[in-house]
Amino acid sequence: MSAPVLSISRRTRETPFTRRVTEAGVRGYTVYNHMLLPTVFESVEADYHHLKRHVQVWDVACERQIEIRGPDAARLMQMLTPRDLRGMNPGQCYYVPIVDETGGMLNDPVALKFTDEKFYISIADSDLLFWAKGLAYGFRLDVDVNEPDVAPLAVQGPKAEELMVRVFGEGVRNIRFFRFALLSFQGREMPVARSGYSKQGGFEIYVTGSDIGEAIWDALIVAGADLNVRAGCPNLIERIEGRLLSYGNDMTRENTPHECGLGRFCDTQTAIGCVGRDALLRVASEGPVRQIRSFAIAGDPVPACTRPWPIYAGGDRVGQISSATWSPDFETNVAIGMIRMTHWKDGTTVEVEAPDGTRSAQVREASFI
Amino acid sequence: MSAPVLSISRRTRETPFTRRVTEAGVRGYTVYNHMLLPTVFESVEADYHHLKRHVQVWDVACERQIEIRGPDAARLMQMLTPRDLRGMNPGQCYYVPIVDETGGMLNDPVALKFTDEKFYISIADSDLLFWAKGLAYGFRLDVDVNEPDVAPLAVQGPKAEELMVRVFGEGVRNIRFFRFALLSFQGREMPVARSGYSKQGGFEIYVTGSDIGEAIWDALIVAGADLNVRAGCPNLIERIEGRLLSYGNDMTRENTPHECGLGRFCDTQTAIGCVGRDALLRVASEGPVRQIRSFAIAGDPVPACTRPWPIYAGGDRVGQISSATWSPDFETNVAIGMIRMTHWKDGTTVEVEAPDGTRSAQVREASFI
């Protein structure tokens, strides 16, 4: 039976780039923040090889922005995350785990600081806007919380800097990793960050105003013709190899940041004001009992991982795989999952119950990079 | 070019019924509350004719439940909606517009009242959980707000009551419209309501516990063999004919309930405690300046409505179409849209800018029933 098609409606919002994505021959989508996110163009494997060698333009408008503006903006930001934001400077991007009052993950976005009174939060797949608005209202904070007309466009791959310089000028080279600068396109200023959901390097343009989306897309495609630029998208294989986590796939509200290996982004002792602080203090000092690891799963290419696959060791259930796929470069199945501390040591052999049978797997502390 | 496929992962959650839906030959999905929602089996038109004549079993597990439990449950419920809930009795279902502090719609769910201290909210497509949790935390309410393991399964169509009686017993007949009773299946009690997202009549079973999902599905399919039962899903044509609104399609956070024609579900004067009350008082007394209407759009079958189509009259933009499709029974294109009061009178002729050209359309105060 052929794969089900996606029924598209206004609710699964188009982006400022959807027409260009369609013209480029998109073959698959997912829905992310109620918006279309391309998943495949030529094939997931062909897209993967191209991404590692050349440069791609990605419609990641689904990384919706929450704009937090006003005198209490910094206070609200700190309420959201156990990462201590006092050292964050204008022009910085921070990866910020967002937790509820129980310490459960609600989102894992990147925050951009413009001033003490203005931030963007570039969100993963959940309506974080509702949580931020609820807190702002409940605590009567002096802030405006909204979703502005800003649509991220990513430029990823080893030739990304060269391409970006051609369209946004030499200033691109001075942008350090996880920093952003305000650069101009056709006279309009917009944040450009050195960041993105791949390990191949690149940038994210926070396209400000839907009306200019196709013009920027076209400028990148034209300027990069000799760089072999083409439309792409976050690549399943590359992101699992690099252990780039996906909210909703690899972690949910059930998990603390520490379980997700994000303890290094938590300063629970000093993040005074974070609503999840009390709940996280103990796990922050003692560590979690299960944690995310990479896995190499033996055998032929695995089927699509559409639900968690249990991990067993000696008959006991010790974890679950949440993302998995065949890696052409590593010539094994690569996976992300969560496993109990009794079995999370590098090299431990476990059994994975995949839909097509039980397979042997090896725990890896490092990702496949 | 063929329609893009949906890339399914753990994040686009499977339901307790997904295996049965797959076996039944589902051909299309959308993603709704981060979960798979079937959109077509045989064809949208064949499904439509069958729904109007027979009975269908629908996987609507994506109508996730928010369970609100505790001494402040009723207070939190009233904070969420401008509908006065003081008259709501245990066993009742209320359609409740949910608004933020500006009066903008956040969701349009059905609430179920069990006791003064326990409600379910059966949500449309937004993470209402985050808003409810944010308010509960901000106001330090004594409530627990969670997503329980409850997955609605709908039984819709003219033969729905007959089928339900065979599986849940004669008690089904006593359930009035928008009421629920606790009925048993294999010894497990669960809410069964006379409700559903069609105008053909039917029920929603709030399947309590994923483990029992396939057993209930199978029991319905077996018991209904002579009723011509089969797998179905909310049908695009039938819902547009009946003007069943879809959050994210026909209304968004930009809209008040009054604009959506939901003024009859608002008691803004008496709904003391509703966070959007101040913002809505004026529009509640004076009425909105634009409102949802049905439309008959002339010409051949329209293409898929994947973004709002502008409505013009005398050169002025006066509204937009948000949902549209060809209706075999009414032999015209049927649509839902929002239009300014200058042009919302029944029978008014306007122009719709569809992707394949401008078409004439007629405003209808009533739906196509």
**Tens of pLDDT, residues A191-221:** 999 999 999 999 999 999 999 999 999 999 9
In chain B, residues with a C-beta closer than 8 Å to the C-beta of A11 are 30, 125, 246-249
What is the count of residue pairs from A and B with beta carbons less than 8 Å apart?
172
B301-319 pLDDT, tens digit per residue, is 999 999 999 999 999 999 9
Residues 6+ apart with CB under 8 A from A194: A175, A176, A177, A178, A179, A180, A201, A202, A203
Q: Which domains does chain B have, with CATH numbers?
A: 18-63+149-240 (3.30.1360.120), 65-144 (3.30.70.1400), 290-369 (2.40.30.110)
**Alpha carbon distance A164, A101 (integer Å):** 41
What is the number of residues in chain B?
Answer: 369
Residue-wise pLDDT for A231-258, tens only, equals 999 999 999 999 999 999 999 999 999 9
Closest to B307 (Cβ–Cβ): which among A14, A125, A135? Answer: A14
Chain A residue with the nearest C-alpha to that of B304: A9
> Quick one: closest CA in A to B99, which residue?
A130
Query: Strand A332-340 vs strand A349-354: parallel, antiparallel, or unpaired?
Result: unpaired
Q: Nearest chain A residue to B305 by CA: give it.
A: A9
Phi, psi of A283 (to 5 degrees): -65, -30
> Tokens 């179920």 belong to which residue?
B112
- The two beta strands, B56-59 and A65-69, are unpaired
Comparing CB atoms, the residue among A4, A14, A125 nearest residue B6 is: A4
Q: Is the pLDDT of residue A137 over 50?
A: yes
Classify the C-alpha dihedral B343-B344-B347-B353 as positive or negative: positive
Contact B8, A304 (CB under 8 A): yes
Quote the crossing angle between the two packed helices B128-138 and A128-138, to the nearest 10°: 20
Residue A353 β-bridge partners: A358
Q: Which residue has the tokens 């910094």?
A: A74
**Residue B170 confidence (pLDDT):** 97
Closest to A182 in 3D by CA, of A113, A234, A83, A280: A113
Q: Write down the pLDDT at residue B1.
A: 47
- pLDDT tens digits, one per residue of A143-155: 999 999 999 999 9
Which of A143, A141, A342, A367 has the alpha carbon at shortest distance from A245? A367
Instruction: Read off the pLDDT of residues A353-363 as tens digits, 9 standing for 90 and up.
Output: 999 999 999 99
Chain B residues near residue A14 by CB distance under 8 angstroms: 306-307
| pLDDT surpasses 80 at A109 | yes
The pLDDT of residue B58: 98
Q: Round the average pLDDT of chain A to a whole number and report it.
A: 97
- pLDDT score, position B219: 98
The yes-or-no verdict on residue A287 having pLDDT over 70 is: yes
* CB-closest option in A5, A134, A305 to B6: A5
Calculate mean pLDDT across residues A72-82: 98
- A1: pLDDT strictly greater than 60: no
Distance from CA of A322 to the nearest CA of B (A): 7
- Distance (Å) from the alpha carbon of A175 to chain B's nearest alpha carbon: 33
Closest-CA distance of chain A to residue B22, Å: 9
Confidence of residue A47 (pLDDT cuts 50, 70, 90): very high
In whole angstroms, what is the distance from residue A263 CA to residue A82 CA? 9
Range A73-85 average pLDDT = 98
Of B221, B214, B223, B161, the residue nearest B192 (C-alpha):
B161
User: Which residues, at least 6 apart from A79, have a Cβ–Cβ distance to it below 8 Å?
Assistant: A135, A139, A273, A274, A275
Residues 6 or more apart whose CB falls under 8 angstroms from that of B187 comprise none
- What pLDDT digit, counting tens, does each position of A307-330 carry? 999 999 999 999 999 999 999 999
Q: Would you state the pLDDT for residue A205?
A: 98
10-residue averages of pLDDT along chain B (369 residues):
87 98 98 98 98 98 98 98 98 98 97 98 98 97 98 98 98 98 97 98 98 98 98 98 98 97 95 96 93 98 97 97 98 98 98 97 96
Region label for B186, one of left (φ > 0), alpha (ψ between -120 and 50) or beta (otherwise): left
pLDDT score for A2: 67
Residue of chain B whose Cα is closest to the Cα of A15: B307
Q: Which amino acid makes up residue B161?
A: E
